[in-house]
C-alpha cells in the first residue's frame, strides 16, 4: 500500500473527530487517569470512549445489558463497565488493576491507562503512571483534594509525568458552581508547587452527563477553555530536550556465523551516526560505530526509541548491562546513589534483606540501603524517617556491590530509573529514580567484607582469567553476597576488571 492510501486510511478512522489544526508531533499519547476512589475515573474514560471513539457495537450492547442488570446508576449506562474487566471488579464495582484502552483520532493514537483509586492498589497505579506522558487527575467537586489525590500527584511527579489535567468531576452535583471549581483549582496549584509539573490544565466536567468531556457543556458558560477531548487531541505530549546525549543500554550480544558480533538494544536517548565514537562507561573502553544493523538493512543513524544492533570497529568485551554512550557526556559509573522511590511490596523495607537493583539492562546487588525521609501526604514535605512500607514515597541511599552506569533521572529518565527486586523471591518491591550518584564513594570500612578472588579462592579454584570465567566469578560472588547480606553482613564485591 502506498503512502497516500495509508494516509487516507488513517484519516477515515474516526468520523467524530473535532476539527482543528493538524498536529504533527506526538503520534502516540499515553494518558493516565488517577485520583481517589469514587471520583469517577472509569466512568470518565468510559464516557470518553463512548462519545469519541473506540467502542464497538457488540461492546455497546453488552454494556447496555450489564448496566440494566446492575442498575448502579439508575437508568443510566454504566460507562465504567468498559474498563473494569475483571470479575471481582465488576462484582465489587471497584477498579483493582490498571486497564489499557486504545483509540485513534485522525491526528493520533491514544493509549489510555485507567488506574485504581484505592490505597490498597497503589502499586498498580504506580505501574500505570510510569508508562504515561500525561495524567488526568480526577477530583470529586463535592469533596475537593483528598489525601489520595496528593499521593497520586506525588507518584505522577516521581515517575516523571510533566503535564497534568485536573478534571474537576461531578460538577452536576454542585450546581455547576464556578466558585467551587476555582477554589479546587487554587488548592491544587498550591500543592503542585511541590512538584516538577510544567503544565496544569484544569477542566470542569461531569462524566455521567458527558459535560465538557467531548461535548461542550451548556451548563457552564463561565468556562471558556477546551473540553477534555479538545485538549487531549491538541496537546504536545513530549517533554524532552533537544540534543540529549546518546545512550543505548546493551540487552544482548548477538553473534552470527559470519563473524558478526553486534550489541542489541533500544536507544534510550539522543542519536548516533556511523563513524561516531561510543564508550562503555563501566570499563571506560571506547570504539567507533561501524554499522547499525537491522533486518530491514543497515541504517546511517539511530535515534531515541529505535531498537537496533550496533557493530563496533573493535571488540570491547562488554556484555548485557553495559550502557553505550557518547564519549563526552557519559553516565556515571556509580557504586553509591541517592534515590526517591515508591515502595510497592506488602513487606516493608528491611535493611538486612537482600535486594537487587534492576536498571535499564543491568542487575546489581545492593550492599546496603538506608531510608532517610518519607513524603508526608498531608503536607507533601519530606520528613526524616528510617523505615518505609507499602505505598510510601521515600528518599534513600543505596550502596551497590559493584559499579554500574547511571544517569540522573531528571536528565535522562530511561537510564536513571530502577526497580528494586527481592533477592529471595524475585518480587519487584519498589520503583525509583536516581537523584544523586557518585563513583568510588563506597569506601571500604572496617566492617565491610570484601569479596574478591583472593577471599573466594577456594570456591573459585576452577576459574581462570577468561571473560566467561570472570563473569562466573562475579555470579558466584553475588550469590555469596546475597547469603551474607541476609545474615546481616555488609559486603562489597571486587572484580578485577
Site for another protein in 394-453 (CB under 8 A): 413-414, 417-419, 421, 425-428, 431
Among positive and negative, which fits the CA dihedral 336, 342, 345, 350? positive
List C-alpha distances in Å: 164 to 65, 202, 300: 35, 8, 37
Closest CA to 451 of 477, 471, 430, 431: 477
Near another protein in 26-55, by CB under 8 A: 27-28
Which of 18, 37, 111, 353 binds another protein (CB under 8 A)? It is: 111
Stretch that binds another protein, among 5-13, 142-150, 236-244, 434-442 (CB under 8 A): 5-13
Task: Between 95 and 217, name the residue whose CB sits nearer to another protein.
Answer: 95
DSSP class of 269: B
Cell triple for 407: 544517569
Q: Are 390 and 430 in contact (CB under 8 A)?
A: no
Q: Are 207 and 79 in contact (CB under 8 A)?
A: yes
Stretch that binds another protein, among 230-238, 332-340, 352-360, 450-458 (CB under 8 A): 352-360
496 forms part of the interface with another protein (CB under 8 A) = no
Cell triple for 397: 541511599
Near another protein in 10-29, by CB under 8 A: 10, 12-13, 27-28
In this structure, how many other beta carbons lie within 10 angstroms of the beta carbon of residue 441? 11
Least separation in angstroms between residue 102's CB and another protein is 5
Closest CA to 467 of 355, 334, 319: 319
255 forms part of the interface with another protein (CB under 8 A) = yes
83 forms part of the interface with another protein (CB under 8 A) = yes
Stretch that binds another protein, among 140-148, 219-227, 248-256, 396-404 (CB under 8 A): 248-256
Near another protein in 278-317, by CB under 8 A: 293-297, 299, 305-307, 309
Residue 455: enclosing H or E segment and its boundaries?
none
Task: Between 111 and 471, name the residue whose CB sits nearer to another protein.
Answer: 111
> Roughly how many angstroms between the first and final C-alpha of the chain, as a whole number?
52
User: Residue for cell digits 516493608?
Assistant: 348
List C-alpha distances in Å: 21 to 17, 51, 201, 490: 12, 21, 20, 60
Which of 64, 186, 254, 444 binds another protein (CB under 8 A)? It is: 254
Near another protein in 360-399, by CB under 8 A: 360-361
Which of 16, 100, 147, 497 binds another protein (CB under 8 A)? It is: 100
Computed on alpha carbons and rounded to an integer, the radius of gyration of the chain in Å comes to: 26
132 forms part of the interface with another protein (CB under 8 A) = no
222 forms part of the interface with another protein (CB under 8 A) = no
Task: Between 18 and 264, name the residue whose CB sits nearer to another protein.
Answer: 264
Task: Between 139 and 433, name the residue whose CB sits nearer to another protein.
Answer: 433
Task: Between 204 and 354, name the residue whose CB sits nearer to another protein.
Answer: 354
109 forms part of the interface with another protein (CB under 8 A) = yes
CA torsion 220-226-231-236 (nearest 10°) is -150
208 forms part of the interface with another protein (CB under 8 A) = no
Amino acid at each position: 500500500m502506498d503512502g497516500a492510501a495509508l494516509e487516507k486510511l488513517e484519516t477515515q478512522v474516526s468520523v467524530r473527530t473535532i476539527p482543528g489544526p493538524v498536529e504533527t508531533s506526538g503520534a502516540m499519547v499515553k494518558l493516565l487517569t488517577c485520583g481517589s476512589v469514587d471520583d469517577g475515573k472509569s466512568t470518565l474514560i468510559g464516557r470518553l470512549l463512548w462519545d469519541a471513539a473506540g467502542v464497538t457495537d457488540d461492546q455497546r450492547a453488552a454494556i447496555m445489558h450489564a448496566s440494566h442488570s446492575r442498575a448502579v446508576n439508575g437508568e443510566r449506562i454504566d460507562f465504567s463497565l468498559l474498563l473494569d474487566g475483571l470479575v471481582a471488579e465488576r462484582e465489587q464495582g471497584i477498579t483493582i488493576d490498571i486497564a489499557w484502552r486504545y483509540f485513534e483520532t485522525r491526528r493520533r493514537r491514544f493509549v489510555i491507562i485507567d488506574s485504581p483509586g484505592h490505597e490498597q492498589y497503589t502499586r498498580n497505579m504506580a505501574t500505570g503512571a510510569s508508562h504515561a506522558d500525561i495524567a488526568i487527575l480526577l477530583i470529586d467537586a463535592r469533596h475537593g483534594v483528598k489525601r489520595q489525590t496528593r499521593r497520586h500527584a506525588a507518584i505522577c511527579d516521581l515517575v516523571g509525568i510533566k503535564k497534568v489535567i485536573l478534571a474537576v468531576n461531578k460538577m452536576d452535583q454542585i450546581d455547576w458552581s464556578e466558585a467551587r471549581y476555582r477554589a479546587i483549582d487554587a488548592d491544587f496549584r498550591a500543592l503542585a508547587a511541590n512538584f516538577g509539573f510544567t503544565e496544569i490544565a484544569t477542566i470542569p466536567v461531569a462524566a455521567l452527563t458527558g459535560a465538557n468531556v467531548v461535548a461542550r457543556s451548556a451548563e457552564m458558560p463561565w468556562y471558556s477553555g477546551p473540553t477534555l477531548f479538545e485538549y487531549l487531541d491538541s496537546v504536545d505530549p513530549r517533554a524532552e530536550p533537544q540534543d540529549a546525549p546518546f545512550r543505548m543500554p546493551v540487552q544482548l550480544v548477538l553473534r552470527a556465523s559470519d563473524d558478526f558480533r553486534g550489541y542489541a538494544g533500544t536507544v534510550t536517548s539522543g542519536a548516533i551516526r556511523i563513524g561516531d565514537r561510543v564508550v562503555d562507561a563501566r570499563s571506560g573502553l571506547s570504539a567507533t560505530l561501524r554499522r547499525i544493523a537491522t533486518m530491514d538493512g543497515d541504517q546511517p543513524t539511530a535515534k531515541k526509541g529505535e531498537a537496533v544492533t550496533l557493530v563496533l570497529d573493535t571488540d570491547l568485551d562488554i556484555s548485557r548491562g553495559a550502557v553505550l554512550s557518547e564519549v563526552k557526556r557519559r553516565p556515571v559509573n556509580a557504586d553509591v546513589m541517592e534515590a526517591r522511590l515508591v515502595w510497592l511490596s506488602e513487606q516493608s523495607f528491611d535493611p538486612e534483606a537482600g535486594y537487587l537493583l534492576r536498571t535499564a539492562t543491568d542487575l546489581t546487588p545492593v550492599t546496603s540501603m538506608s531510608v532517610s525521609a518519607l513524603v508526608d501526604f498531608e503536607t507533601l514535605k519530606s520528613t526524616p524517617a528510617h523505615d518505609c512500607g507499602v505505598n510510601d514515597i521515600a528518599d534513600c541511599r543505596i550502596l551497590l556491590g559493584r559499579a554500574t552506569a547511571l544517569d540522573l533521572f531528571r536528565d535522562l529518565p530511561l537510564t536513571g530509573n530502577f526497580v528494586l527486586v527481592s533477592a529471595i523471591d524475585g518480587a519487584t518491591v519498589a520503583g525509583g529514580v536516581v537523584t544523586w550518584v557518585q563513583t568510588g564513594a563506597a569506601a571500604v570500612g572496617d566492617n565491610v567484607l570484601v569479596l574478591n578472588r583472593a577471599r573466594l579462592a577456594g570456591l573459585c579454584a576452577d576459574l581462570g582469567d577468561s571473560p566467561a570465567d570472570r563473569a562466573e566469578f562475579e555470579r558466584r560472588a553475588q550469590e555469596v553476597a546475597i547469603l551474607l547480606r541476609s545474615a546481616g553482613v555488609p559486603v562489597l564485591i571486587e572484580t578485577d576488571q
